[in-house]
Structure formats: C-alpha cells, structure tokens
Amino acid sequence: MKISDIKNISIIGAGNMGHQISTLCAIHGYKTTCTDISQEMLDKANAFVDKYLPGRVEKGKLSEEQARQARANLRFTPSLEEAVKDADYVIEAAIEVLDVKRKLFADMDKMAPPHAILATNSSYIVSSRIADATKRPDKVCNMHFFNPALVMKLVEVVQGPHVSDETTAITMNLCEKLDKVPVHIKKEVDGFLLNRIFKAISKEALWLLDMGVASMEDIDNACVFGAGHPMGPFRLMDLTGIDLAYIAETEAFKKSGDRSDLPSPSVVAHYVKGEYGQKTGKGWYDYSEKQ
Ligand SMILES: NC(=O)c1ccc[n+]([C@@H]2O[C@H](COP(=O)([O-])OP(=O)(O)OC[C@H]3O[C@@H](n4cnc5c(N)ncnc54)[C@H](O)[C@@H]3O)[C@@H](O)[C@H]2O)c1
C-alpha cells in the first residue's frame, strides 16, 4: 500500500481526542467516519464540528468551500462495522483500557478491509499488547496525537518489533499529510517520548504540592514564567484528564510493582470525586464559571 491509497479514515471514539482527530482528517481531505458507543458523545462531536468549521472561516483559516468540503467529508455513526468496513486507515481513540482496546482491535480485524492499517492513539499502551488480538500484527501500530489534536503538531509513531516498515512509513507520511510533525520511535517504551518527560515533571510537581512546598498555582507559574512552558503541569493535567493520569499510573504500578509508580494521594482524591479536569468542569482548577 502507498500513502496515495489512503482515502477513507475511521476514528474510534468521539471523546476528547477522537472528535478533534476526526475533524483534522476531514479538513485534510479524507473521507472520515467517527464512531463511539455513546450517542451523547457522537452528538457532542457533531455539534463541535458545526461550530468549529464556521469559526475557522470567520478567522480566515479556511475558505467557505474548504469548510463545506470538510463537513461533507465527515460523518458519525454508532456502528463500529459501518465505521470501519471501507477504511484504509483506522485511528482508535477509545478509552485507555487494555481489554476494551483488545476487543475493539479483534472486532475491527474482522470488519475492516485486509489492507487497512489499525493504529492506536493510546498514550501509554504499546501496540504489541494489542496487535496479537488481530491477524495483521504488522499493520497495528501506535500513532500518538497530542491534546488538542487540532492544534498540537507533534505525533509520535511507535514501531514495535511486530510493525512493518511499510506501516511505519505510511503512518509517518499520513502525519505529514495532516500537517503534523511525526517522530519515529524505534523501540516500544512506556509513555513514549514526551509523556516520559512530562511524567518526570508532573511527579516532581505533585511531590512539591503534597509536601506543602508551594501551591499548585505557583508551581504552574514557575513552569510557565521560568521554563517557558505554555502551561504548568496542573493545568496540563486538567486538559489531558486526571482520570487518564490515574489509570496510566495505576497500570504502571501493576506492571512494575514499584510503589513510586502509584498515583499521588492528591490525584487519587480528585479521581474518586470524579473531578477529571476540564471535561468535568473541575479538576485542579474550577472551570464551571470561567467556561
Ligand atoms: N486526553 C489526552 O490528552 C490524550 C492525548 C493523547 C492520547 N490520548 C489517548 O486517546 C484515547 C482517548 O482518550 P480521550 O482523552 O479522548 O478519552 P475520552 O474519555 O474523552 O473519550 C473516550 C471515548 O471512547 C468511547 N468509547 C469507550 N469504549 C468504546 C468502544 N468500545 N468503542 C467506541 N468508543 C468507545 C467513550 O464513549 C468516549 O467517548 C486514550 O487511549 C488516551 O490514552 C489521550
């Protein structure tokens, strides 16, 4: 397969990442089908696109024709089979739970055309933990976008030992077609590149907070005004989801047995209260009034 053979892209999951990746693909000319098990999430994603595209036209970032074409390229369906049956490339962005992803990949393997590449946008799960649920492991890889996917340029493409050079090359090329900057990660490693670096920063930030050394506002300010980060670790966690941090760290602990991998007490406190960050209106910061 060549990059020019990719015409139809399917996105699995219409949440935080899925609705933005879907919009991105549609804007860049791909016939895009997005699916989710939640009709509410599909409706929300649809409403987002209806608002986002005219907004881009108003800002002069898209012509009216480009916006009309992008809208025509994008559809939403609750049926997984309907979503992937004509796919050339699938990007899975469902919740970060290994068993859910393995079941999805096993199902998609049966439903998608044999040539289709099945990529996961997972932040922490390497594709070798999923690929053996399919009969096409050479076509199963990690394609890791960053949040918000319509804005952030970086995509990490991870080539596990089972992934073919062709799958990697097409995935890197697809990133470029989507106007992203791909980096090729040649070995599977938990957290890939950037999340490993962020994990080290956020671990230290949480320790400083839990020890009462400084407030979260001051820790965020130190990172923004001292290190030039666009946002501090607490704002970033609110954006990416405290639930995601909790799940990723719990999984890391299950694997390593190392207590230092456990989520910090303050992350657990937010998680059990359902305070996941921006998506629930409250996390480290309160978004209810401001938003
Ligand atoms: N949030 C981030 O900053 C971020 C960044 C990069 C990658 N990721 C990864 O992207 C994936 C999605 O994360 P998110 O933040 O968008 O999560 P989210 O909770 O916002 O959305 C997940 C969606 O998956 C849907 N879903 C659950 N099971 C499904 C199934 N069987 N079939 C179809 N849809 C299903 C849910 O209904 C939900 O809408 C995760 O693997 C995560 O690790 C997240």
pLDDT of residue 57: 97
What does the pLDDT average to over 49-56? 97
- For ligand 1, atom 26, which residue shows the shortest CA distance? 94
Distance CA(207)–CA(203), nearest Å, equals 6
Q: Say yes or no to pLDDT of 291 above 60.
A: no
Q: Say yes or no to pLDDT of 72 above 90.
A: yes
The helix/strand/coil state of 105 is helix
- For ligand 1, atom 24, which residue shows the shortest CA distance? 94
pLDDT of residue 251: 87
Where residue 195 falls among pLDDT bands split at 50, 70, 90? Answer: confident
CA of 221 to the centre of ligand 1 (A): 29
List pLDDT tens digits, range 116-149: 999 999 988 999 999 999 999 999 999 999 999 9
Is-contact 187 163, C-beta < 8 A?
no
What does the pLDDT average to over 175-194? 95
Q: How many other CB atoms are found less than 10 A from the CB of residue 214?
A: 14
DSSP secondary structure code for residue 274 in this structure: T
List pLDDT tens digits, range 214-237: 999 999 999 999 999 999 999 999
Where residue 40 falls among pLDDT bands split at 50, 70, 90? Answer: very high
Q: List residues with catalytic annotation.
A: 123, 144, 156, 195
Atom of ligand 1 nearest to the CA of 101: 31
What does the pLDDT average to over 156-177? 98
Average pLDDT, the chain: 96
Question: End-to-end CA distance of the chain, in Å?
Answer: 45
Q: Which residue ranges form the domains of the chain, and what is each CATH number?
A: 3-185 (3.40.50.720), 196-280 (1.10.1040.10)
What does the pLDDT average to over 20-44? 98
List pLDDT tens digits, range 77-125: 999 999 999 999 999 999 999 999 999 999 999 999 999 999 999 988 9
Distance CA(245)–CA(64), nearest Å, equals 39
**Residues within a 6 A CB radius of ligand 1:** 12-18, 35-38, 41, 93-96, 100, 104, 121-123, 144-147, 240-241, 244
The helix/strand/coil state of 291 is coil
Instruction: Of 54, 86, 88, give the one whose Cα is nearest residue 70.
Output: 54
In whole angstroms, how far apart are CA 172 and each of 6, 8, 179?
13, 17, 11
Q: On the CB side of 173, how many CA atoms lie within 13 Å of its CA?
A: 13
- For ligand 1, atom 33, which residue shows the shortest CA distance? 36
Atom of ligand 1 nearest to the CA of 94: 24
Name the pairing type of β-strands 140-145 and 154-158: antiparallel
What does the pLDDT average to over 3-9? 97
What does the pLDDT average to over 279-285? 95
pLDDT of residue 190: 82
Where residue 290 falls among pLDDT bands split at 50, 70, 90? Answer: low
Q: Which residues, 6 or more positions from 147, have their beta carbon under 8 angstroms from its beta carbon?
A: 16, 17, 20, 239, 240
Of 37-51, 173-187, 256-270, the one with minimum mean pLDDT is 256-270
DSSP 167-180: HHHHHHHHHHHTT-
Atom of ligand 1 nearest to the CA of 103: 31
